[in-house]
Amino acid sequence: MPLTVQRSGVIESARYRQVLGQYPTGVVVVTALDAAGTAVGMVVGSFTSVSLDPPLVAFLPDKNSSSWRSLRESGDRFCVNVLAAAQEDVCRAVATRKTDKFHDIGWQPSPQGNPIIDGAVAWIDCVTEQIHDAGDHDIVIGRVLDLDLGDGEPLLFYRGGYGSFMPHSLAAGDADLLDQLRRIDLARPHMEGLADLFGTEVTAITLVRDELVLAASAGRTELAASPTRVGQRLPFAAPLGSCYAAYGDAALRERWLSTISEQLTPEQLERLREVPDTVRGRGYAIALGHSELSDLERISTLLHERAPDVSPETLREAMARVTDGYNPADPIPADVELRSLSAPVFAPDGTVAFTLTVWGPAEPVAPEEVTRYANALLATATNATRAIA
């Protein structure tokens, strides 16, 4: 469809943000030490390489930013830290705190003495070469003095949300996913509250056509198989995504089972037929056993990365191997390894908009602890349902 071109002398700020927000960026933290030796820093999306010879980079700070003032007053040296996909919390902390931004963020001094944030995927030490005036922003040109790589994938920022790079993860046709991402963002404070309560990770998983897409995450668990789960995709097939089957119609339940039925024994199939009602009765889905289920997560990640010896068939076989860990009938055994609990968040039309998953601790938990997780999860899902209404 051709773009409609409107010409008008006035550019509304909301329109400006909306249109320019179509352009994704990475996220860096520009750091320095102030005169007292305290780390100062600013989250910046407007970072770019400028010139190779001489080596120059640039970023564009808001003239009114107090963080920029602190950086500027600290001297002419600064370090650009490219944040990793798992460092959304670092980004939020540095962007929102006014003072003592680094009190719980680990860092090492760069050759120029500026903070290099632990876990950054790259750092670039600079000396300010020029500062240009540009409307309500400055354009800071830095000459690169030193630079190096860390590990991992970078954090990305797009339309007000965070993510990580995944080839074709927002391919044409994923318009549904974009709608879901907007809804999930409304539920984000509730996800963060739950993640804080248990010191773990809370993820939002949505069904896009025939795939379960891990669309957002809050907090962290050391049990994750990869640094960020965001972007992971798994087939919508038993035993995964049981909340969707639980609240879906007969056709959806059938689709949930038929995709994997060839890999299942008749006994497994029989048991899985009961699962949607079990989940609906409890109000949540439960998954037990860390090593088995992290193996499944590992295989799905390999498939996504197009590892040569992993096929969709390998993944379905792995799913069939772990069905017993999902949604066992009552009573749930004592001292289990609680992998995760998932509950539905409903759209205004009563369908499941997305599911929230809270990830359990490494050590086995008593039944009362499972109940505590379940109650907190259900309360969070109810609040999220209200938030998106």
Ligand X SMILES: Cc1cc2nc3c(=O)[nH]c(=O)nc-3n(C[C@H](O)[C@H](O)[C@H](O)COP(=O)(O)O)c2cc1C
The only residue of 24, 55, 56, 65 in contact with ligand X, by rule CB under 6 A: 65
Using CA atoms in the order 221, 25, 160, 341, what is the torsion angle rounded to 10 degrees?
Answer: -20
Give the binding range for ligand X (CB under 6 A) out of 64-72, 78-86, 168-176, 227-235. Answer: 64-72
Give the binding range for ligand X (CB under 6 A) out of 62-70, 240-248, 297-305, 319-327. Answer: 62-70
The only residue of 157, 236, 244, 326 in contact with ligand X, by rule CB under 6 A: 157
CA-to-CA distance for 197 and 261, rounded, in angstroms? 38
Per-residue x/- marks for ligand X, 84-113, CB under 6 A? Answer: -------x---x--x---------------
Give the binding range for ligand X (CB under 6 A) out of 36-44, 141-149, 265-273, 368-376. Answer: 36-44
Q: Which is nearer to ligand X, 67 or 221 (CB)?
A: 67
Q: Which is nearer to ligand X, 75 or 328 (CB)?
A: 75
Nearest to 325 by CA among 376, 275, 280, 263: 275
CA–chain centroid gap for 116, Å, is 23
HSE (side-chain half, CA atoms, 13 Å) at 50: 18
The CB density around residue 370, as the number of other CB atoms within 10 Å, is 19
Give the Cα-Cα-Cα angle 157, 155, 152 (nearest 5 degrees). 165
The only residue of 46, 128, 169, 259 in contact with ligand X, by rule CB under 6 A: 46
CA-to-CA distance for 343 and 254, rounded, in angstroms? 20
Give the binding range for ligand X (CB under 6 A) out of 43-51, 236-244, 300-308, 342-350. Answer: 43-51
Q: Is 131 in the site for ligand X (CB under 6 A)?
A: no
Counting residues that bind ligand X (by CB under 6 A) gives 16
DSSP codes of every residue in 114-183: -EEETT-SEEEEEEEEEEEEETTEEEEEEEEEEEEE-SSPBEEEETTEEEE--TTTT-TTTHHHHHHHHH
Give the binding range for ligand X (CB under 6 A) out of 58-66, 274-282, 291-299, 355-363. Answer: 58-66
Cis peptide before 109 (omega within 30 of 0): no
CB of 17 to ligand X, least distance (A): 12
CB of 163 to ligand X, least distance (A): 11
The only residue of 50, 56, 60, 170 in contact with ligand X, by rule CB under 6 A: 60
CA-to-CA distance for 135 and 128, rounded, in angstroms? 20
Positions that interact with ligand X (CB under 6 A) = 27, 42-46, 60-62, 65-67, 91, 95, 98, 157
